Structure 1
Amino acid sequence: MSAHASSASAYLGHLTHPITGARVEEADAYLPTAVDGGHVYAVPDYDLDGLRGLETTDDPGLFRYRPLLPIDGGPVVSLGEGGTPLVPLPRLGADLGLPGLLLKDESRNPTWSYKDRLAAVAVTKAVQQGRDTVVVSSTGNHGAAVAAYAARAGIRCVVLTLASAPLAMTTLMQSYGAVTLAVEKPTDRWLVMRELVQARGWVPMSGFVGPPAGSNPFGVEGYKTIAYELHAQLGGVPDAIVAPVAYGDALAGLARGFEELVALGMSTQVPALIAAEPFGPYEDALQHGWRPTAAQPAGSTVAFSIGSPMATWQGWDALSRTGGAAASAGDDATMAAQRQLAGLEGLFLEPSSTVAVAVLPELVRRGTLTADQRVVVLGTSTGLKDVPTAASRLPETPIIEPTVAALDAAIAG
């Protein structure tokens, strides 16, 4: 990579609709277009011809990749996000027959989740547009990340959440200064958000339409930087990436990031992207095609932040064009994967993240993943965000007499 104090942006200042090819101006970017009963966001457009490879700058955090982000040359809102480690998983990989298994540990970001990448770019864009308020619908990581970056930027953040959101999550949102309000029904948040976006000009940081479309189209570009980092860390690209998926924001960003590496002449292939999910809407979409109103039976799940019964067009498209796949796992497998990852590799991630570990045996059984591949699991957030769920599956800590004999007896069980 070449490093420069400054570099011209490849962003063209407008977006392109990924289905119709129509040009979309920034002023219209926050409202997704209705397509065949569903919704699809436009995608920021770039001219890569003027770049000399993957140029970087001296900007903080993921903004070192400023030339390939949809922002101008003004100030950025950063907390030092990105640059997360790629951790080999030798013991877990040996158990699964995947010796090349690794984990991109996004829990090392400032608010301990990969949502910081979206929030950094989306809040920066809002500030550069002169907006003073951002609004987000979230029960967890997304809301916490946006609240933190809005605080960093000095603008107002309003979070619409649910009464069932974990205490750790709402505590983070409120601690970062966000106006945090709960409603009873998930879709009620979207109704309020749409009015705020249309009538007041507040910038949406998350989705707010049904059927779902995804999140802020500028923010989704932040996930491209995971692809750039993986290329640098591996000296190439992996064969496959297994990621927890709800509305497909990270999938869409990853696919575009790897495709840009090909366009820049830095890679000859794009990894297969694989969705890990609780209820299976992407499995269904890959089998039957994307149908915007198709919904899978769904209930409560320990992986609550990705518990969507519906697939988005952007997620399905990313899986389809990378030759990817999807697999699902229930609560017991997800919690067992959390304990396995922590006990074997020393990594404690939240259930919504360990779904991506829980589906690995099934992907190996199908032959989707094989022993000769480099496979990266996207570890999206720390398990400390939802300690009660983990604790509920663990035995109580025994109280013993302060003797070695009592300790030996307790260990012997």
Structure 2
Amino acid sequence: MTRRFAYACYRCDSELPVGHPIDSRGCPRCLDEAPSNLRLVYRGDIAEEGKLTKKEQPPSLWRYANRLPFREDAAVSLGEGLTPLRPAARLGAEIGVPALFIKNEGHNPTWSHKDRFSTVAITAAQQAGASTVATSSTGNAGASLAAYAARAGLSCVVATAAGSAGPMLTQIEKYGAQVIPFENKSDRWAFLAEGVERFGWFATSPYRHPVVGSHPIGIEGYKTLAFEIVEQMGGAVPDWCALPVCYGDALAGLWLGFKELLRDGEIARMPRLLAAEVHGSLALALDQGIDRVPDVTARFNTLAVSIGATRSTFQALKALRETRGIAVPVSNDGLIALQEKTAGMEGIFLELSSVVPIAAILAARQQGVIGSHEAVVAVVTASGLKDVDKSNPAAISRSFSTVDAALEVIGA
């Protein structure tokens, strides 16, 4: 049920056996100089694993099981992946990118891209004989992990920060997970570390400083974003792919997916990647040419809470460097207006963090980095219902006493 693999460092390529404990520290050789996450290295030819025929393919990302750590018959699945890729011509014209496409991850079972991670991570936990999975999350990761844990019959613990988006916390609790909010955000990691050490929890998120990224096995699920984009574009490759970035798990997985396709001759070139971030740690690391991603000062309280970390990771930096990519910091200015414009023009209601890549595309176009002729895919990661309490904190309360009064307001 499990393919043969080992772990390797993104930075120094040192290999570690599959039995190496994933303790959230990443590569032991790079820890002091420039902390780096691990990636999977598969043993044997992928072709030997056998590709599924169209008739055999499950209606989920597990249609790509030959490129994932587990076979499809072992998968804990809720039908994730295969999300739509739609041309967004009206919005594209508005921001100067006529060939704009939106890959809408809000169509996943828990309405975010995290389901691509969770289906693989929970499968790994089940295969490892774990009884409890745990994560540190302000929303999407916790909701997703809770749902897949419920599907697998595993207990789930979500350590979160006080003040996280209410709809997502409700979602997590409805799946039966234990939600543990902390006033001091850093206490979440000490809590997870104790759970791993004392109770054998299978932790999927980072829980030690400095962050290197999430569990390498789960990140493999994000490779399927690349597989789907190429398939949905009829074998073509966009010039750019942009997505919101915190610790860069999805960015790294997307990059790994495109690398596999390039290696196997299924595409002729790599797209350039755009990391839409908040506080600018990746932009600074790229500018300074350093490997140790700096911890920058937060200049404001971002509306894009799920990507609000002040330091990203080497795995994200590596993906950008190898694709001639860029990082674009995005402020709160105009974010809600752009959320409303995307919904009003394309019928796609996005979580505020998912609006950030569209804002970054607009900024890169205005700076001349993205050309007007280039095809750009915005990977938007979650539904706007996830943080509606932040994007529209005051519900519309007015009402009308007559039909004529209402018609007058809309100009009818």
Compare 139-148 and 164-173 and name the one that shifted more.
164-173
Task: For 2:282 and 2:257, locate their aligned partners in 1 and report how far apart those are by CA, in whole Å.
Answer: 21
Kindly tell me: are residues 393 and 358 of structure 1, through their superposed partners in 2, closer, same or farther at Cα, counting changes over 3 Å?
farther
Could you tell me which residue of structure 1 aligns to residue 325 of structure 2?
324
Q: 1:290: how far off?
A: 3.2
Residue 38 of structure 1: how far off its partner (Å): 4.5
- Structure 1 portions without partners, runs of 5+: 1-7
Cα offset, 1:412, TM superposition: 5.0
Structure 2 CA distance for aligned equivalents of residues 364 and 248 of structure 1: 22
Change (3 A) 1:223 1:259: same
List per-residue Cα deviations over 1:94-116 (Å, max 9, x = no partner): 11221110000000000000000
**Corresponding residue SS for 1:291:** coil
Q: Distance in 2 between matches of 1:198 and 1:47?
A: 30
Which range moved further: 281-290 or 196-205?
196-205
How do 1:128-167 residues align onto structure 2 when only pairs under 5 Å count? 128-167=127-166
Distance 2:86 2:9 in 1: 36
Q: What is the match of residue 3 of structure 1? A: none
* C-alpha displacement of 1:277: 1.5
Structure 1 segment 8-407 matched on structure 2, within 5 A: 11-31=3-23, 32-34=26-28, 35=30, 36-47=32-43, 49-51=45-47, 55-56=51-52, 58-71=57-70, 75-235=74-234, 236-288=236-288, 289-392=290-393, 396=396, 398-404=398-404, 406-407=405-406
Quote the offset at 1:408 in angstroms.
4.0
1:409–1:111: structure 2 CA closer, same or farther, 3 Å change rule? same
**8 Å contact from structure 1 (residues 224, 256) kept in 2:** yes
Amino acid at match of 2:277: E
Task: Give the letter aligned to residue 401 of structure 1.
Answer: S
Going from structure 1 to structure 2, the CA distance change for 1:294 and 1:389 (only over 3 Å counts) comes to closer
Query: Which residue identity is paired with 2:90?
Result: R
Give the drift of 1:372. 1.4
Change (3 A) 1:393 1:242: farther
TM-score (norm 1): 0.92
Equivalents in 2 of 1:73, 1:346: separation in Å? 33
Over residues 266-311 of structure 1, what are the superposed CA-to-partner deviations in whole Å (9 max), with x where a residue is unaligned? Answer: 0111111101112111111111123244323344211000001112
| Cα pair 2:85 2:232 within 8 Å, conserved | yes
Amino acid in the other structure paired with 1:158: V
Quote how far apart the aligned CAs of 1:227 are: 0.3
Give the TM-score normalised by the residue count of structure 2: 0.92
Percentage of pairs with the same residue: 39
Would you say the 8 A contact 2:242–2:377 is kept in 1?
A: yes
Q: CA RMSD in A?
A: 2.1
Q: Give the AA of the match of 2:260.
A: E
Shift of 1:195: 2.4
User: Deviation at 1:264?
Assistant: 1.1
Question: Per the alignment, do residues 108 and 74 of structure 1 end up closer, same or farther by CA in structure 2, a change over 3 Å counting?
Answer: closer
Contact 2:162 2:181 in 1 (8 A): yes
Q: Shift of the alpha carbon at 1:147?
A: 0.2
CA contact (8 A) 1:84 1:108 kept: yes
d(CA) in 1 for partners of 2:100, 2:294: 35
Q: Could you tell me whether the CA contact under 8 Å between 2:161 and 2:184 is conserved in 1?
A: yes
Shift of 1:359: 1.7
C-alpha distance in structure 2 between counterparts of 1:313 and 1:198, whole Å = 26
- Unaligned residue ranges in structure 2 (runs of 5+): none
2: CA distance, partners of 1:203 / 1:220: 15
Aligned-pair CA distance for 1:399 = 2.0
State how many pairs are aligned: 403
Say if 1:187 and 1:266 are closer, same or farther in 2 by CA, change over 3 A. Answer: same
| Inter-CA distance 121–304: structure 2 relative to 1 (3 Å threshold) | same
Q: In 1, are the aligned partners of 2:4 and 2:44 still within 8 Å (CA)?
A: no
Shift, 1:170, TM fit? 1.1
- When structure 1 is superposed on structure 2, of 111-120 and 379-388 the one drifting more is 379-388
